Structure 1
Amino acid sequence: MRDFPVMEQNYERARELMARNGNPTQWGHTFPRPEVVEDDITQHRSILLVDGSGENERILAQFAVCTGEDPTYQTIDGQWLDDDAYVTVHRITASGLVRHAARECLEWTLRKYGNVRIDTHPNNRIMQHVLESCGFTRCGLIELIDRPTDTTRIAYQRHEW
């Protein structure tokens, strides 16, 4: 929880960056809500990419790794690469302090878990580029089940076996 304030700053930076780059609605002004981030921390889903140590430690990127089947991914307009067990990456953002931090997060998740799914907004060209440059396959479209509007997302998957 000691990192929560910096994590919140990173999410605010991401919301501003998305809006400036033609994607103002994916996270809007409030996503992810503070209680979601706090829950990620308490449930041990939050992963931080850091450099330095002690007083000199910097958070370079952050994301949530969710194990188990994601209910949002049960229906897809397209096809997943497989029906094997997977983890889902959610709420990924970089601090802007170094280049390719999001890529490092994705590569770490692939090394640790092997089969990874993730989705992004159709207007999030930056994340689409990151995912495709990391070898993720565009599998189709999914609809978010936790919000009433702006629900379409592009679904990606990559596995290492």
Structure 2
Amino acid sequence: MTPGFTIRRACADEAAAVLDVIEDGRRAIAELGIAQWQNGYPDLTAVERDIAAGACWVAAAGAEAECALLGTCAVCLERDVDYAAAGAAGVRWLTRDDTGRVEPPYVAVHRCAVAAGDGRRGVMSALLLAAVRLARTEGRRSVRMDTHPGNVRMRGFLERHGFAELAAFHMVGHPVPDDDVRIAYEKLL
């Protein structure tokens, strides 16, 4: 329990509310003048897929029937194709991705957003702490994240939370080919 809100997995009927939080994040990113998330992704399909996989986490305030979502992120336990390609392209991850293992040595955190007006409340820090706890519970050795080079807010957040900035890489199959560069980050647990 975090003061004023709880961290939990999103429910199937919350997909639209999760997307509303992502839309707030999309607007905040647009204010930075960068193209990240400006092409319609993440969309409702991505949110529904995250929820179905049990990967979508939310910060929620209020009684369950009428709760407000303050933030969201996807905490993914499966191997990330972009991170595998980044490693092959020269990103030196802090944890080796032992390809013989069924699961990767990390969790990947994606699609992080905070609702408009709820920044500076510790919402994203609490979501990240939940991701770290899940990673430890699952026996993972690190948390990996990435962001657009121009997303100075997220880059600063990651550095303040102990993530090492590793290198730039190109995302695999990104829907906007001229906006596929991301900066890789990793935090050892």
CA contact (8 A) 2:16 2:44 kept: no
Residue in structure 2 matching 1:140, options 164, 167, 170: 167
Unaligned runs of 5+ in 1: none
**How far, CA to CA, are the matches of 2:46 and 2:65 in structure 1?**
27
Note the alpha carbon deviations across 1:127-161, whole angstroms, 9 max, x for none.
0011111111111122110222311100000122x
User: How far apart are the structure 1 equivalents of 2:119 and 2:152?
Assistant: 19
Say which of 103, 106, 116 aligns to 1:86.
106
Aligned AA (1:108): A
Say which one has the larger Rg: 2
> Contact 1:62–1:93 (CA<8 Å) still a contact in 2?
yes
Deviations 1:55-98 (A, max 9, x none): 44221211111112211112244311111510100101111325
Displaced runs of 4 or more, over 3 A: none
Normalised to the residue count of structure 2, the TM-score between the two structures is: 0.78
Shift of residue 29, structure 1, vs aligned partner? 4.1
- Counterpart AA for 2:18: M
Structure 2: segments with no counterpart, 5+ residues: 1-11, 98-104, 137-141
Aligned length: 159
Give 1:45-84 correspondences, 5 Å limit. Answer: 45-74=55-84, 75-76=86-87, 77-83=90-96
The alpha-carbon distance between structure 1 residues 29 and 16, as it changes in their structure 2 partners (threshold 3 A), is farther
Which residue of 2, 9, 14 corresponds with 1:3?
14
CA distances 1:85-131 after superposition (whole Å, capped 9, x unpaired): 10100101111325221121112111221421000000100100111
Counterparts of 1:87 and 1:28, CA distance in 2: 25
CA contact (8 A) 2:135 2:143 kept: yes
The letter of the residue matching 1:95 is A
Q: 1:12 aligns with which of 16, 23, 26?
A: 23
Question: Aligned partners of 1:36, 1:78: CA distance in 2, in Å?
Answer: 26
Q: TM-score, normalised by structure 1?
A: 0.90
Q: Determine which of 139, 147, 153 is the counterpart of 1:120.
A: 147
* CA distance in structure 1 between the partners assigned to 2:119 and 2:64 by the alignment: 19
